[in-house]
Chains A and B, each alone.
Chain A
Amino acid sequence: MNVPAASGDGGATTLVAGSSLWADAWRRLRRNRLAVASAVTILALACACLAGPWLIAATWGHDEQSQDLASGPRPPSWEHPFGTDFYGRDLLVRVLAGGRVSLTVGLLAALVAATIGTLYGAVASYAGGLIDAVMMRAVDVLYALPYMFLVIILVTILGKSLLLVFLALGAVGWLLTARVVRGQVLSLKEREFILAARSLGTPAHDIVLRHLIPNVIGPVIVTFTLSVPSMILQEAFLSFLGLGIQAPRPSLGALISDGAGQMLVFWWTLVFPGGLMAVLLFALNFLGDGLRDALDPRLER
């Protein structure tokens, strides 16, 4: 987390104001023990999902696709801590690999959405007038549409690859960021310190770089953090419907879908992927909440 340094290259006064804002936020975030625990959990899970499948393959020789039809589904044991699935595949490996897919898609889709949304919102608010009105009206209309339907159409049309799934999710998930950014920029444009900078003859690009962006980046980070879990959820949603990552590659949604079908007999096939999903979303949401509280002191006390 080197956020404080990022805003430190402004002029003397903004430097003080900017860095103390970030330092304050960082201090508040560190004091929020649940948010810190969430961040640690996320890091640990990310490491496990990245390195776990490879480590397990190296030590036990299980990989995500090797089947053992003869053995069939078996409950958790020392050899298979999460049990095995219907095809005798080790569930721990599959759950971790699924988590990796979820995290990747979630992060990339949220990144796509944040980029599009920030640009769109900034352009709309900076252009103002009719352009702004038309652009935001379009957002309103899109906001009202059942955009998962659009994603479903996109995915069925374009095919079910990892890349396309996160592009499709990101392409329709930027609306909230656009709104947040526009609202922030609009309120900033009228604030005293911007007016002061303008009246001092500060060039426009300086105002944007030193005043607007540092003040917009907080809400964008918060929106981004909170959109990662919702992107993960939506990817799982697609996989659950059979529209996500193609079998036999595992994804959490597909694993949960399989598990839900056999939960009566093979409870572990639902509990483990569902559990990882819930823990992941819980930690991400908590971290996002913590970030928002840290960056928005107004809501404190």
Chain B
Amino acid sequence: MIGYILRRLRGLVPTTLVIVAASFALVRLAPGSPFTSEKEIPPQIRRQLEARYGFDRPLPEQFLRYVGHLLRGDLGLSTKYPQRSVNEIIADGFPVTLTLAGVALVWALLVGITAGVIGAIRRNTIWDHAAMAAALVGISVPSFVLGPLLVLVVSLRWQLLPPAGWGDWRHVILPGLTLGTLSAAAIARLTRGGMLEVVQSDFIRTARAKGLSERLVVWRHMLRGGLLPVVSYLGPAIAGLLTGSVVVEKIFNLPGIGPYFVDAAFNRDYFLVMGIVLLDALFLLVMNLAVDIVYGLLDPRIRYR
């Protein structure tokens, strides 16, 4: 088990290298440069700027220098916000994004698993149909429709929660709901499907034949197997939450990392784009490793190789 984790961690190294190289190539081979936008810059100043960021060197050398900086934990300088390093921008924005995604994930798991379990246990009843219809609505209403609607009703009509901005816990509720609803709906459907597979299996009949109460049958014997599909969905779900946070942060005007990314991509803010991609990718790779480990803990038949 520990050997497996170490091997997986070691496997992250080449993957990360590939991601660094690919994002570097993608960003740098694209037409345009950080200094072509907006107003015309005199050639002299432009050369100075390029020298400052090292853009006057040949690309391979730039790449090696970038990797060297990365190894020291330096993500480089932003060209759009010259006073700030990429590290600073990320240190400001990433915690906000993570908080948002975390709240969304908790909400998605709570609501999704509850609805899915109820749907499976009360199969083909009004409860099941209501839960699954709600899940389908959840999948079909995009966050950028749901978010404004929530603001309209909860913040502006009922004046319950702030409509935008970042501060205390009240600011995170509406964005969290908005971001997590899609995952909640997906989790509800996966849970129901997984539970239904398990409900029909022989070992559930055995559990009943042993005289266990219905509650024990569900909690001890069904839930673990029934939730395996949800566990394997967690990797893509977290990726989806990070992606979705870009829009949600825009809707609620949150100081997360998402809006920076779109801006940076537009402005060819090379180091900022790469920094954000790299950080998100690494975060997700680690989360996926964690998910795989949890899966293995839940299903003893999985062998670690």
Chain A positions within 8 Å of B, measured between CB atoms, are 140-141, 143-150, 152-154, 156-157, 229, 233, 236-237, 240-243, 253, 256-257, 259-260, 263-264, 270, 274, 277-279, 281-282, 285-286, 289, 299
When the two chains form their complex, are residues A278 and B141 in contact, meaning their CB atoms are under 8 A apart? yes
A240 and chain B: residue at smallest CB distance: B144
When the two chains form their complex, are residues A241 and B250 in contact, meaning their CB atoms are under 8 A apart? yes
Among the listed B30, B136, B262, B277, which residue makes an inter-chain contact with A282, where contact means beta carbons less than 8 Å apart? B136
Q: A144-B284, A145-B281, A157-B31 in contact; A237/B239 too (CB < 8 A)?
A: no
Chain B positions within 8 Å of A, measured between CB atoms, are 15, 18-19, 23, 26-27, 30-32, 136-137, 139-142, 144-145, 147-149, 152, 156, 193, 196, 235-236, 239, 242-243, 246-247, 250-251, 261-262, 265-266, 273, 276-277, 280-281, 284-285, 287-288
Once A and B bind, how many residue pairs between them come within 8 Å at the CB atom? 118
Give min CB distance, A143 to chain B, whole Å.
6
Chain A interface, DSSP helix/strand/loop, else mixed: helix
When the two chains form their complex, are residues B147 and A260 in contact, meaning their CB atoms are under 8 A apart? yes
Known: A236-B144, A274-B141. 11 other contacts (CB 8 A): A141-B285, A147-B239, A156-B30, A156-B265, A233-B142, A242-B262, A264-B152, A278-B140, A281-B139, A281-B140, A282-B137
Give min CB distance, B13 to chain A, whole Å.
13
Among the listed B145, B235, B236, B246, which residue makes an inter-chain contact with A241, where contact means beta carbons less than 8 Å apart? B246
Give min CB distance, B98 to chain A, whole Å.
13
Inter-chain CA distance A242–B235, complex, in Å, is: 27
When the two chains form their complex, are residues B262 and A152 in contact, meaning their CB atoms are under 8 A apart? yes
Inter-chain CA distance A259–B144, complex, in Å, is: 10
Contact residues in B for A149 (Cβ distance below 8 Å): 243, 261, 276-277, 280
Inter-chain CA distance A233–B186, complex, in Å, is: 15
When the two chains form their complex, are residues B265 and A256 in contact, meaning their CB atoms are under 8 A apart? no
When the two chains form their complex, are residues B30 and A157 in contact, meaning their CB atoms are under 8 A apart? yes
Give min CB distance, B284 to chain A, whole Å.
5
Give min CB distance, A53 to chain B, whole Å.
22
Inter-chain CA distance A270–B145, complex, in Å, is: 8
B280 and chain A: residue at smallest CB distance: A146
Q: Pull 28 A–B residue pairs with CB atoms less than 8 Å apart, ordered by A.
A: A141-B285, A144-B284, A145-B280, A145-B281, A146-B239, A146-B280, A148-B243, A149-B243, A149-B261, A149-B280, A152-B261, A153-B23, A153-B30, A157-B32, A229-B139, A236-B142, A237-B144, A257-B144, A260-B144, A263-B152, A264-B156, A270-B149, A274-B145, A277-B145, A279-B140, A285-B136, A285-B140, A286-B136
Inter-chain CA distance A287–B267, complex, in Å, is: 41
Inter-chain CA distance A200–B131, complex, in Å, is: 50
When the two chains form their complex, are residues B142 and A285 in contact, meaning their CB atoms are under 8 A apart? no
Contact residues in B for A233 (Cβ distance below 8 Å): 142
Question: Nearest 10 pairs between A and B by C-beta?
Answer: A281-B140, A157-B30, A282-B140, A148-B243, A260-B148, A274-B145, A156-B265, A144-B288, A240-B144, A144-B284
Contact residues in A for B236 (Cβ distance below 8 Å): 143-144
When the two chains form their complex, are residues A241 and B152 in contact, meaning their CB atoms are under 8 A apart? no
From A144, A148, A278, A286, residue with most partner B Cβ within 10 Å: A144
From B23, B142, B239, B250, residue with most partner A Cβ within 10 Å: B142
When the two chains form their complex, are residues A146 and B284 in contact, meaning their CB atoms are under 8 A apart? yes
Among the listed A237, A286, A299, which residue makes an inter-chain contact with B247, where contact means beta carbons less than 8 Å apart? A237
Give min CB distance, B18 to chain A, whole Å.
8
When the two chains form their complex, are residues B142 and A277 in contact, meaning their CB atoms are under 8 A apart? yes
Among the listed B140, B148, B281, B287, which residue makes an inter-chain contact with A270, where contact means beta carbons less than 8 Å apart? B148
Contact residues in B for A286 (Cβ distance below 8 Å): 136
Give min CB distance, A238 to chain B, whole Å.
10
Contact residues in A for B265 (Cβ distance below 8 Å): 152-153, 156
B286 and chain A: residue at smallest CB distance: A144
When the two chains form their complex, are residues B276 and A299 in contact, meaning their CB atoms are under 8 A apart? no
Contact residues in A for B15 (Cβ distance below 8 Å): 141
When the two chains form their complex, are residues A256 and B145 in contact, meaning their CB atoms are under 8 A apart? yes
A236 and chain B: residue at smallest CB distance: B142
When the two chains form their complex, are residues A153 and B273 in contact, meaning their CB atoms are under 8 A apart? yes
Contact residues in B for A285 (Cβ distance below 8 Å): 136, 139-140
Inter-chain CA distance A221–B281, complex, in Å, is: 31
B147 and chain A: residue at smallest CB distance: A260
Contact residues in B for A146 (Cβ distance below 8 Å): 239, 242-243, 277, 280-281, 284
Contact residues in B for A299 (Cβ distance below 8 Å): 193, 196
Contact residues in A for B239 (Cβ distance below 8 Å): 143-147
When the two chains form their complex, are residues A156 and B140 in contact, meaning their CB atoms are under 8 A apart? no
A298 and chain B: residue at smallest CB distance: B197
